[in-house]
Structure 1
Amino acid sequence: MSIRLGLIGVEDNLEWIQSVVKEYSEFECIPFLHFYEKDVISILEAHSHKVDMWLFSGIFPYSVAEKWGRVQKPMFYVPYTGTSLYKTLYRILYHHHLDINQLSFDALKTSELKQIFEELDIDDSSSHLYEEPKSIEDVVEYHEQLWKKGETSAAVTCAWQVQKELEKRGVPVFRVKHTKSAVTSVLNEALKTQEMLRFKDRQIAVQIFEMDLFSSMSISSFSSDEMYDMEIKNTQKLLKYAKRIQGSLKTVSPGCYVIFTTRGELSDITDNFSVIPNLDEIQDITKGNITCGIGIGPSAYDAEMMARNALLQARKHGKENWMVAFDNKTFKGPLGKKESLTYSYNDKDMQVISERTSLSVATISKIDSILSKMGRSEITCQDLATKLQILPRSARRIMSQLEKSGYAEEIGEETPHPRGRPRKVYRVLLRGTVR
């Protein structure tokens, strides 16, 4: 089966990169033309289901997708290698006779640029480089300001949009273009990644279902025959579900079932472990009080142990929740919920903080995940309690432990309601604090 490769590029390189991709029989190339940064997100949103992985023509559209943070398929971009720059520099130095120190560069690595200058025996002490561009506008502004101040006589860019905009503003500009070797190199990397993913998809996955269909009624209102009949019906539904995901079903005890399958099958039906599957085979069952733990591991035994750990975590969130435990010692869930988190219980930094605060690694990792998801380091105890689904006093105890150990500090107060009591706002710093 061909790998569906979504290629996002600009008009002056899309067709050329596509011609190189066509040399690989493993790929089915699906090209998408973009002009502005906002186009990239629109393409990703509309066509993600059509591709297996994404290839961007350069770092700019790739950075937009990375910053957006919602792409679940593998992403690659064609880098601008030393060979690409050599060709451009040759034209600048020998045809236009410009001073190398009067140039500004973007989207290249400092180490790469330095190495090229050394090989050409050129002093790079005055070179200007925007190494990690945030946006096209920022890069254009960077080049234009240097030129206006007289610090540079021309710009060297890797982006077609930057070239066009600088030309409009009258700034002399040269464009670094891709080489075929750069494209083939990234395509080979994509093939290796696909092979790794196939191996990953073949990993053993175990799903443990724990049902409590009698919680809202008295068991005494059922005869033993009726209870047995209900058990048989649930088993039949789960057998259909197991067949749907190419797995095998084992009954552990009344109301407890284990299904052995593969990671790839479960990843497909849960949208990469983000939602509870909406399948006809288990639709009636998932409406009941069912808790589920999914485990991924290199062996059936390891996967089952991970599934039991996931089930324990799911129980902490209450019935009808699904959690996943991966073989890299991380949990994810509850699936399909706004408070869903991905957190590790084997992170070395979090283990150090755990030892210093007496808080569990899981708790600290959850807080780290919450802050990452929020995109800021400030939080109140009330918000922490809501997101961790714990009592406010428990959240205050956790924050107190972090504050005493130097991982949190009170920075102010907020009043959510006109007549409400002010809430303390804390800044929590976990990453980069461990020494």
Structure 2
Amino acid sequence: MSIRVGLIGVEDNLSWIKSIVDEYPEFQCLPLLHYYDEDVIELLKVHSHEVDLWLFSGIYPYTVAKEWGQIDKPMFYVPYTGTSLYRRLYQILYRHQFEVDELSFDALAEAGLRQIFDELAVPFHQNRLSKEYHSLEEVVDHHYHLWSSGQTKAAVTCAWQVQTELERLGVPVFRVTHTKSAVQSVLNMALRTYEMLHFKNRQIAVQMFEFDYLSHLTKSTYASDEIYNIEINITQRLLNYAKMVQGSLKSVGPGRFVIFTTRGALSEITREFTVIPEAAETGLITQGLVTCGIGIGQSAYDAEIRAGNAMLHALEHGKGNWMAAFEDKTFHGPLGKPESISYSYNSKEIKQVSEVTSLSPVTISKIYAIIKKMDKDEITAQELADQLRILPRSARRILTQLEKKGFAKEVGEETPHLRGRPRKIYRIDFKISKVWQKNDI
């Protein structure tokens, strides 16, 4: 196994980090030099097809890549550990005679820095640590402001570019460098992560399709030959689609087909199970005439069972929807729809709430996912009905049941129209312990 590592680093540590990467026979390193923030994005664009994962020499280029948001491969950066800082602090305190509270810092974990200050019995000044990683200019300004205003006498930085600029501005500056153990630690983590993802992508995936033939027929063409022609057409399109996902096609009855493939192939074409494929070869598949359930499993049997369950969940949202079911009993979908959510009924808390309310675990898990997606704990019956694709009276019945058992509380009303009926607003709280405590009193 040869894992292609794209190493993005600066002039003074790129070769050294590469020499450590080269000690691992599993890795094949592509060193890429950067000077400025914009260099990082350009390197990512140009070389993305040449690597399997990215390794950054520090948190600054890593943050640039993360905020760019266009990376679809694992990313890691080499952290600056306490050992690195202790070594540099020893030189600063004993060779250069600075006090610890006369220094400013960047790119270090606050918890680790606090611990060092506590061990040295020195007060920790929170404003001395830069937490802004959006640009190197902000970090330079942080150090320079503290020094020029007399609050500090020197800067401790983890970035070569910051060191260079501060030296130009006349600020006394000391550089914290990586330790070999820190590089080895992140490489070991990258290796484990890649192996896990590689194994995950090779899981068996099953797509179960159900076609609505009647949507293609008119009164004048409702004949067995016409239905047969439609089925032949659909089969051919599915064969093309199966080739795209490197899978095999199997017919399991009138209007029902199954494709066996791998998780990695489906993940790529559905953008991590978030959209329905838009490829032209799929034809009818993307026109809302087919319902699809995707199942992931360690065996073909497990994956097919989950695909069937996903199909049932998709049909709850109406024909033409796609849902995915995973090995942790999590469902996601409908793919590509605004109401798409991820929910699981496997947690202990959801089962407990289900037992108390007599509502199904699936319903409870969906409500939990909706609240999380909406990023608020207040909801109306109409909002719940829209998300669950049920009638408003059914949603009101669910909220009333939750209210009876202490998981929902009416907190207000809203009037959507001038003559409309006011809608009750409920606050949802699924903390089971609070309900038990209330019932025990």
AA in 2 matched with 1:275: V
302-311 vs 390-399, greater mean Cα deviation:
390-399
- CA distance in structure 1 between the partners assigned to 2:147 and 2:391 by the alignment: 58
Partner of 1:126: 123
Spell out the pairing of 1:267-416 with structure 2 (5 A cutoff): 267-287=267-287, 289-409=289-409
> Unpaired runs of 5+ in structure 1?
none
Q: CA deviation at 1:214?
A: 1.0
Q: CA deviation at 1:202?
A: 1.6
- CA distance in structure 1 between the partners assigned to 2:413 and 2:206 by the alignment: 46
The TM-score with structure 1 as length reference comes to 0.78
1:29 aligns with 2:30: yes
Task: After superposition, give the CA deviation of every residue in 1:314-343 in whole Å (9 maximum; x if it has no partner).
Answer: 111111111111112111111222222222
Spell out the pairing of 1:149-188 with structure 2 (5 A cutoff): 156-158=156-158, 174-188=174-188
- Over 3 Å counting, the alpha-carbon distance change for 1:28 and 1:145 in structure 2 is closer
Q: CA deviation at 1:155?
A: 5.3
Task: After superposition, give the CA deviation of every residue in 1:181-240 in whole Å (9 maximum; x if it has no partner).
Answer: 322321232122112222112211111111111146468943333333432333333233
Q: CA deviation at 1:94?
A: 1.2
User: Is contact 1:22–1:29 with CA below 8 Å preserved after alignment?
Assistant: no
AA in 2 matched with 1:199: F
Q: Number of residue pairs matched? A: 431
- CA distance in structure 2 between the partners assigned to 1:183 and 1:80 by the alignment: 9
Spell out the pairing of 1:35-74 with structure 2 (5 A cutoff): 35=36, 51-59=51-59, 62=62, 72-74=72-74
- CA distance in structure 2 between the partners assigned to 1:34 and 1:405 by the alignment: 60
User: Is contact 1:103–1:128 with CA below 8 Å preserved after alignment?
Assistant: no
- Over 3 Å counting, the alpha-carbon distance change for 1:397 and 1:288 in structure 2 is closer
Spell out the pairing of 1:186-197 with structure 2 (5 A cutoff): 186-197=186-197
AA in 1 matched with 2:28: F
Q: CA deviation at 1:403?
A: 4.4
- CA distance in structure 1 between the partners assigned to 2:365 and 2:31 by the alignment: 39
- CA distance in structure 1 between the partners assigned to 2:203 and 2:384 by the alignment: 35
Task: After superposition, give the CA deviation of every residue in 1:163-194 in whole Å (9 maximum; x if it has no partner).
Answer: 68988998765442222332232123212211
203-212 vs 130-139, greater mean Cα deviation:
130-139
1:83 aligns with 2:83: yes
- Over 3 Å counting, the alpha-carbon distance change for 1:342 and 1:109 in structure 2 is same
- Over 3 Å counting, the alpha-carbon distance change for 1:316 and 1:23 in structure 2 is same
- CA distance in structure 1 between the partners assigned to 2:41 and 2:379 by the alignment: 29
1:252 aligns with 2:249: no
Q: CA deviation at 1:291?
A: 0.6
Partner of 1:242: 242
- CA distance in structure 2 between the partners assigned to 1:42 and 1:392 by the alignment: 51
User: Is contact 2:133–2:139 with CA below 8 Å preserved after alignment?
Assistant: yes
User: Is contact 2:155–2:172 with CA below 8 Å preserved after alignment?
Assistant: yes
Q: CA deviation at 1:349?
A: 3.0
Partner of 2:223: 223
**Rg larger in 1 or in 2?**
2
- CA distance in structure 2 between the partners assigned to 1:44 and 1:432 by the alignment: 47
Task: After superposition, give the CA deviation of every residue in 1:67-94 in whole Å (9 maximum; x if it has no partner).
Answer: 7877543232211122211221112211
- Over 3 Å counting, the alpha-carbon distance change for 1:100 and 1:422 in structure 2 is farther
- CA distance in structure 2 between the partners assigned to 1:147 and 1:409 by the alignment: 54
AA in 2 matched with 1:345: Y
AA in 1 matched with 2:77: Y
- CA distance in structure 1 between the partners assigned to 2:140 and 2:390 by the alignment: 48
- CA distance in structure 1 between the partners assigned to 2:117 and 2:10 by the alignment: 29
CA RMSD of aligned residues (A): 4.4
- CA distance in structure 2 between the partners assigned to 1:362 and 1:424 by the alignment: 24
Secondary structure at the aligned position of 2:293 is classed as: strand
Q: CA deviation at 1:152?
A: 6.5
- CA distance in structure 1 between the partners assigned to 2:388 and 2:325 by the alignment: 18
Secondary structure at the aligned position of 2:241 is classed as: helix
Task: After superposition, give the CA deviation of every residue in 1:291-333 in whole Å (9 maximum; x if it has no partner).
Answer: 1111111111111111111101111111111111111211111
AA in 1 matched with 2:302: D
AA in 1 matched with 2:292: C
- Over 3 Å counting, the alpha-carbon distance change for 1:419 and 1:405 in structure 2 is same
Partner of 1:96: 96
AA in 2 matched with 1:232: I
- CA distance in structure 2 between the partners assigned to 1:32 and 1:305 by the alignment: 49
- CA distance in structure 2 between the partners assigned to 1:224 and 1:319 by the alignment: 23
- CA distance in structure 1 between the partners assigned to 2:258 and 2:244 by the alignment: 15
Partner of 2:439: none
Task: After superposition, give the CA deviation of every residue in 1:46-80 in whole Å (9 maximum; x if it has no partner).
Answer: 98666533334434565676678775432322111
- CA distance in structure 2 between the partners assigned to 1:409 and 1:163 by the alignment: 56
Secondary structure at the aligned position of 2:310 is classed as: helix
User: Is contact 1:103–1:127 with CA below 8 Å preserved after alignment?
Assistant: no
